[in-house]
């Protein structure tokens, strides 16, 4: 669309003050160590806004604005000057609106402060703390919060299932997202096995460019691991601005990868500096259980959770973490649905593993008891995988872990299918398309169940709904923070609003809402996307296609700083030994017993040419490190002892 918007697609055109923090070199951001789950580490972390402001002054001059607007958050929304809404912003005016949010309480993940936010050209230009100190007894009810717009890292608006598309496409989906206070989504590109990743990515990007009404980025799912995928991955990372890829441990014979493939994929993605998303369920066992349960005559949606018990999720999470730890690659577990899986992540983090966990709206707000509903359509609406845990205490537990930082991100896994689509599996639960809604309700439920309950504070709320995701996927501080120079994706959050979720009132096109009838405190009063007011007082004013693709650089600091150091530390060294010159048992190659070396890459001694004494090589060695220590020495001679012969083993070390 307009030039100034498209500029963002190239990293090198980013303004200096943004390009700096995103790049991998040591810079300002690191000295503060902003993302850290160490207790007390949050205390003294402040962004020096002036520091950023300097860069701003030098690099960008404000454009001539066409309109100015004042948003006063200290006042009820009703008193907001109405001129802002007149003439809904059209595409070519993007970035030309000026806004001032006055009297709000700016909440970032590290601190809250009273400040005015001035927005121009879709960016935050100015952030002035007010003289009112934080301790000022400002009536909480009136003081609305100004928070960074939410980032939903897990949506599937175009995921095909048996040739059908979700009812919420990029337009419906992003509309719902904006109505819920989410101003950026990261969607999953889901190519089928055999498809080109690149083509799939372009298809998705094209569709999203046409339809999305908020900024978006894309994860790419890897349906199959083979050599040809590698080039495409490299291209996607280096040129297309993708730094996260999903692999599957479930869906046997379709997407599932074996442990060896996962190991290779992890190693490769680590070299590229990408974040690995893992769908963690043990596909082998699920396939077995599904067969068993269908054999028992259970064909309804209750077969779905019965065939995917919690243990299989926890097991796969454990395995993924083990693999990630072996490869020294950061792992991101999508859709943590059960207590035991979450606990596995917690324990792994305690041991220092680089793993991030994502809870989703559905698992945070409801449980799996509905699978046993007598109403088929209702039960089927809950089908997602991993399934919702039937344990009703799961949501509570997950909220607790989110609050203490053991889980980091809240996604929605929004992927809605209509009841008639779900009914494809009416006689066989394995054919029910998987996915639930949640993009619209995501922020609200975290507020309702965690902040309003006193489990987490508003700063942690911002962290889990927006900032952490921005950091993990390298969008920070462009997204996920209210700071000078950041994108003007801002939500004015009203902690007191109460609404009852219903399919009738939602933006999503699905005819069933799995949260139907639940009451939710807290919701957005006003949403700004790219500096434009898109949602106010329950009214959406969006324009199709205004969403920009946000490229993400590889090697996100949050995940990869530690990896770099670990790489250095974890270098393995052999022991410097003298050559073994004792007798060697002669292996008689019997046809039955194959040498176990899995590949022919290693050189088994039995396949060596007959021993010839190498007269040029002597046993003489200087003890201590030598320059050629890293080269493995082959002893050229071999003494085959008679069977049972005793040896005199000499060692030179």
**Under rule CB under 8 A, which residues in 611-640 are in contact with other proteins?**
630-632, 634-635
Closest CA to 484 of 212, 92, 75, 108: 108
Nearer to other proteins, 314 or 409 (CB): 314
Nearer to other proteins, 35 or 371 (CB): 371
Identify residues 201-230 at the interface with other proteins (CB under 8 A): none
Q: Where would I find the H helices in 499-553?
A: none
Q: Distance between CA 306 and CA 145 in Å, rounded? A: 43
Among 603, 614, 619, 626, binds other proteins (CB under 8 A): 603
454 — phi, psi (to 5°)?
85, 10
Nearer to other proteins, 70 or 584 (CB): 584
Nearer to other proteins, 373 or 561 (CB): 373
CB 273 within 8 A of CB 554: yes
Identify residues 186-205 at the interface with other proteins (CB under 8 A): 192, 194
Name beta bridge partners: 245.
220, 276
Near other proteins by CB under 8 A, which window of 101-109, 207-215, 371-379, 556-564? 371-379
Among 58, 62, 160, 392, binds other proteins (CB under 8 A): 160
Binding mask of the shown chain, residues 542 to 581, with x at each position contacting other proteins by CB under 8 A: ------------------------------xxxxxxx-x-
CA 419 to chain centre: 29
What proportions of the chain, in percent to the nearest 5, are helix, strand and coil? 35, 20, 50
Near other proteins by CB under 8 A, which window of 123-131, 466-474, 598-606, 610-618? 598-606
Closest CA to 153 of 437, 466, 447: 466
**Concatenated DSSP letters of 545-591:** T-PPB----SS-HHHHHHHHHHHHHT-------PPP-SEEPPP---S
Total binding residues toward other proteins, as defined by CB under 8 A: 114
Taking the complex as a whole, how short is the minimal distance between the CB of residue 83 and other proteins, in angstroms? 38
Tokens for 5? Answer: 């918007």
44 binds other proteins (CB under 8 A): no
Torsion-angle region of residue 62: left (phi > 0), alpha (psi -120 to 50) or beta?
Answer: beta
Among 59, 226, 626, 647, binds other proteins (CB under 8 A): 647
At which residue do the structure tokens 């400040």 appear? 115
CB 385 within 8 A of CB 432: no
- The answer to whether the Cα torsion of 258, 554, 4, 492 is positive or negative is positive
Identify residues 453-492 at the interface with other proteins (CB under 8 A): none
Q: Cα dihedral angle (389, 390, 391, 394), rounded to 10 degrees?
A: 30
Among 142, 260, 567, 619, binds other proteins (CB under 8 A): 260
Nearer to other proteins, 82 or 375 (CB): 375
Near other proteins by CB under 8 A, which window of 203-211, 331-339, 419-427, 489-497? 419-427
Near other proteins by CB under 8 A, which window of 141-149, 233-241, 317-325, 478-486? 317-325
Nearer to other proteins, 67 or 230 (CB): 230
Among 2, 37, 502, 605, binds other proteins (CB under 8 A): 605
Q: Where would I find the H helices in 240-282?
A: 259-272
Taking the complex as a whole, how short is the minimal distance between the CB of residue 641 and other proteins, in angstroms? 5
Binding mask of the shown chain, residues 269 to 308, with x at each position contacting other proteins by CB under 8 A: -------------x-xx-xxxxx-xxxxxxxx-xx--x--
- Listed in sequence order, the residues at least 6 apart from 258 whose beta carbon sits closer than 8 Å to its beta carbon are none
b/e burial code for range 436-460 (CB count within 10 A of at least 16 → b)? bbbbbbbbbbbbbbbbeeebbebbb
Identify residues 128-157 at the interface with other proteins (CB under 8 A): none
**Which of helix, strand or coil describes residue 71?**
strand
Nearer to other proteins, 131 or 612 (CB): 612
Taking the complex as a whole, how short is the minimal distance between the CB of residue 21 and other proteins, in angstroms? 34
Taking the complex as a whole, how short is the minimal distance between the CB of residue 321 and other proteins, in angstroms? 8
Nearer to other proteins, 139 or 163 (CB): 163
């Amino acid at each position: 669309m307009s030039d100034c918007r498209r500029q963002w697609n190239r990293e090198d055109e980013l303004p200096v003050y943004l390009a700096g923090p995103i790049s991998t070199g040591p810079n300002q951001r690191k000295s503060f160590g902003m993302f850290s789950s160490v207790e007390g580490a949050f205390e003294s972390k402040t962004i020096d806004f002036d520091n950023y402001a300097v860069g701003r002054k030098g690099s960008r001059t404000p454009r001539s604005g066409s309109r100015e607007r004042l948003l006063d958050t200290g006042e009820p929304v009703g008193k907001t000057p109405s001129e802002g809404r007149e003439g809904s912003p059209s595409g070519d005016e993007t970035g030309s609106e000026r806004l001032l949010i006055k009297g709000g309480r700016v909440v970032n993940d590290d601190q809250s402060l009273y400040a005015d936010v001035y927005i121009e050209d879709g960016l935050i230009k100015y952030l002035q703390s007010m003289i009112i100190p934080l301790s000022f007894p400002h009536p909480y009810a009136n003081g609305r919060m100004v928070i960074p717009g939410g980032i939903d890292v897990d949506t599937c608006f175009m995921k095909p299932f048996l040739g059908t598309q979700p009812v919420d496409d990029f337009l419906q989906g992003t509309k719902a997202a904006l109505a819920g206070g989410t101003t950026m989504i990261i969607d999953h590109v889901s190519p089928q096995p055999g498809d080109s990743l690149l083509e799939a990515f372009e298809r998705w990007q094209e569709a999203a460019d046409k339809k999305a009404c908020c900024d978006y980025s894309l994860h790419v799912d890897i349906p199959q691991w083979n050599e040809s995928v590698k080039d495409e991955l490299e291209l996607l990372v280096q040129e297309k601005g993708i730094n996260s890829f999903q692999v599957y441990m479930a869906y046997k014979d379709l997407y599932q990868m074996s442990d060896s493939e996962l190991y290779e994929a992890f190693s490769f993605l680590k070299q590229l500096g990408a974040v690995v998303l893992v769908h963690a369920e043990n596909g082998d066992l699920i396939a077995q259980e599904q067969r068993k349960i269908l054999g028992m005559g259970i064909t309804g949606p209750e077969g779905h959770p019965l065939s995917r018990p919690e243990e299989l999720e926890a097991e796969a999470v454990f395995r993924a973490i083990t693999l990630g730890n072996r490869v020294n690659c950061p792992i991101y577990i999508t859709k943590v649905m059960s207590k035991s899986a979450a606990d596995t992540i917690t324990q792994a983090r305690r041991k220092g593993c680089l793993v991030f966990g994502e809870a989703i709206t559905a698992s945070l707000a409801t449980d799996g008891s509905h699978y046993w509903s007598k109403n088929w359509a209702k039960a089927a609406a809950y089908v997602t995988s991993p399934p919702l845990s039937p344990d009703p205490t799961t949501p509570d537990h997950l909220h607790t872990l989110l609050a203490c930082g053991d889980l980091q991100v809240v996604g929605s896994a929004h992927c809605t299918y209509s009841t008639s689509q779900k009914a494809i599996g009416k006689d066989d639960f394995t054919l029910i398309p998987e996915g639930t809604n949640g993009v619209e309700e995501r922020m609200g439920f975290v507020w309702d169940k965690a902040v309003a309950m006193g489990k987490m504070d508003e700063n942690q709320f911002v962290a889990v709904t927006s900032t952490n995701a921005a950091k993990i996927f390298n969008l920070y501080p462009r997204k996920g923070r209210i700071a000078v120079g950041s994108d003007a994706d801002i939500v004015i959050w009203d902690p007191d609003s109460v609404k009852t979720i219903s399919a009738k009132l939602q933006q999503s096109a699905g005819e069933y809402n799995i949260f139907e009838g639940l009451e939710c405190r807290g919701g957005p009063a006003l949403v700004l996307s790219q500096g434009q007011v898109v949602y106010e007082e329950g009214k959406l004013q969006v324009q199709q296609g205004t969403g920009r693709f946000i490229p993400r650089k590889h090697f996100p600091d949050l995940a990869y700083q530690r990896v770099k150091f670990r790489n250095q530390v974890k270098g393995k060294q052999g022991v410097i030994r003298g050559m073994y010159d004792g007798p060697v048992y002669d292996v008689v190659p019997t046809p039955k017993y194959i040498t176990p070396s899995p590949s022919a890459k290693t050189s088994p001694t039995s396949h060596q040419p007959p021993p010839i004494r190498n007269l040029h090589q002597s046993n003489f060695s200087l003890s201590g490190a030598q320059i050629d220590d890293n080269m493995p020495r082959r002893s050229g001679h071999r003494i085959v002892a008679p069977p049972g012969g005793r040896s005199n083993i000499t060692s030179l070390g």
